[in-house]
Amino acid sequence: MLVAVVKRLTELVATLLVTSLAVFSSLYLVPGSPIAYLTRGRAADAAAIARITAQYHLNEEFFPRYWTFLSGLFHGDLGQSLVYNESTWSLIEPRLTVTLLLIALATLETVAVGVALGAVAALTGKASDMGIVIGSTIGVGIPAFAASAVLLSVFAVNLGWFPVAGNGSGLAGNLDHVVLGSVALAISSAAYMVRLTRSAVREERAKEYVDTANARGLPSGQTVRRHIMRNAAPSILTAGGVTFIGIMASEVVVESAFGINGAGSLLVSSVGAKDFSVVQVLVLMYVAAFMIVNTVIDLVALRVDPRLAIEMATR
């Protein structure tokens, strides 16, 4: 068991390193010289070139540059924005709360609704199963930006229950602005969760150990909780991880639709403005978040199914 945990954590660190390398070096994949890319569309006088060269350590070799980049990360130096005269962190920091709130709320809604409905569909009769399947099939087809348009139009513009754009101030204000967006995100994510949960639970329900439980006279509620759901848990957790990634990615879109000024819209605008240092840091933050969440999920799954420890240890 310990071996599996250690291995998984090492994997996490290794993957983070590789990803940071990938993100870092994507700058160098760009056709043309990095300098030309970095100064495209902006004044390119000698002073600016010198500044950029210094900032990106372009006169050094690749790996020392990478090392400087990495160590900079650890010291909290995330670089300077190329567009604004500020440090990257000062651009990101104020926008984090609203983004985190949006993601957290959407995830909560997705997991609560997704797992519950998925389990209900798999365990109850044909009628409710069919209803839930239909609902989730449609839900999967309602992407976050489309749902945003509808929700915005109905609840914000027409009914006026929620604000149309902006961040709001303070936690309550943020929440108010983020609710519609979280629902927009949750619709297709929850539908996806419903489908995956349903198939995982259905699969377990058909297994032979359920036969044994029935033959021993176990009450069906107990069989479901203690056996079926427990065995389905690793698949459901994995599905949750995938869905979470989807939410994190789509929230960028939702921020754009609802005019929320969060880390997501910063990412989009930085891409447009070619503010590469901001893009780099944000992408790394996103990816790091997914990976940490996935590692946590894997570790939780370990506790549930002891055979996974062997599998993880031998990978």
Partner 1 sequence: MSTSAAGTVDRRRLPRDWSRAVAWTAGAVILLVVVAAVFAPLLAPHNPNALNLNEAFSAPTARYPLGADASGRDLLSRLLYGARPALLGPTLAVLLATMLGTVVAVASAWFGGLADRVISRLLDLLFAFPPLLLALLVAATFGAGFTTSILAVGIAEVPYIARVIRTEAIRQRKRPYIEGSLVQGLPGVAIIWRHLLPNVAPTVFTQMTLSFGYVIVNLAAVSFLGLGVQAPTADWGSMVSEGQSSLVQGYPQESLYASACIIVVVVAFTVFGDWVAARMEARR
Partner 2 sequence: MNDALLAVRGLRMSIDIPGSRERRDVLLGVDLEIAAGEALALIGESGSGKSLTARSILRLLPEGARMEGDILFRGTSVPGMDRRQLRSYRSSDVSMVFQDPRAHLDPTRTIGDFLVETLRACREMPRREAYSKAVELLDDVRITNPGRRMSQYPHELSGGTLQRVMIASALAPEPALLLADEPTTALDVTVQAEVVRILTELRTERNLAMLFITHDVDLAEVACDRAAVMYAGRIVEKQVASLLPSSAGHPYTIGLMNSRPELGRRAERLQPLAGRPLSAYEAPAGCAFADRCALVIGKCRQDPPPPLRRLPSTVAACHRAEDARALLTPATAAAPAPPASPPGTSATAALIEVRNVSRVFQARGSFRRAPIVAVDDVSFTVEQGDSLAIVGESGSGKTSMARMLVGLERPTSGTISIDGQRRHGRRLGTLDRAESARKIQIVFQDPYASLDPRQTVGAAITEALRLSGATDKSGLPGRTRDLMHLVGLNADLADRYPRRLSGGQRQRVAIARALAPEPEVLVLDEPVASLDVSIQAQILNVLAQLRRELAVTYVFITHDLSVVRQVADTVLVMHHGKIAERGLVTQVLENPQTDYTRTLLASVPSRMPTAAGAETAGLASPMVTDVAARG
Residues found near partner 1 in the complex (CB under 8 A): 15, 18-19, 22-23, 26-27, 29-31, 126, 130, 137-138, 140-147, 149-150, 152-153, 157, 164-165, 188, 242, 245-246, 248-250, 252-253, 256-257, 267-268, 270-272, 274, 276, 279, 283, 286-287, 290-291, 294, 315
Q: How far is CA 150 from the centre of its chain?
A: 23
Q: Is 46 in the site for partner 2 (CB under 8 A)?
A: no
Query: What sign does the CA torsion over 206, 209, 212, 217 have?
Result: negative
Residue 7 touches partner 2, criterion: CB under 8 A: yes
Residues 282-311 that bind partner 2 (CB under 8 A): 304-307, 310
Where does residue 295 fall: left (phi above 0), alpha (psi -120 to 50 degrees), or beta otherwise? alpha
214 binds, among partner 1, partner 2, none (CB under 5 to 8 A by kind): partner 2
| Amino acid making up residue 102 | L
196 alpha carbon, distance to own chain's centre = 18
**Residue 217 lies near partner 2 (rule: CB under 8 A):** yes
315 is a contact residue toward partner 2 (CB under 8 A): yes
Q: Which stretch binds partner 2 (CB under 8 A): 21-29, 161-169, 223-231, 263-271?
A: 223-231
Task: Find which of partner 1, partner 2, none residue 128 binds, CB within 5 to 8 Å per kind.
Answer: none
Residue whose C-alpha is closest to residue 92's, from 314, 300, 280? 280
- Residue 267 contacts residue 284 (beta carbons within 8 Å): no
Residue type at 219 in one-letter notation: P
Report in angstroms the alpha-carbon separations of 137 from 12, 42, 146.
34, 48, 16
Q: How many residues bind partner 2 (CB under 8 A)?
A: 28
Comparing CB distances to partner 1, the nearer of 109 and 275 is 275
- Beta carbon of residue 74, minimum distance to partner 2 (angstroms, whole number): 31
Strand partners, 80: 87
Residue 113 Cβ vs partner 1, minimum distance, rounded to whole Å: 18
Which of 44, 146, 218, 245: binder of partner 2 (CB under 8 A)? Answer: 218
Length of the chain, please?
A: 315
User: Could you identify the residue written with the tokens 């670089």?
Assistant: 79
Chain residues binding partner 2 by CB under 8 A are 3-4, 7, 207-209, 211-219, 226-227, 230-231, 304-307, 310, 312-315
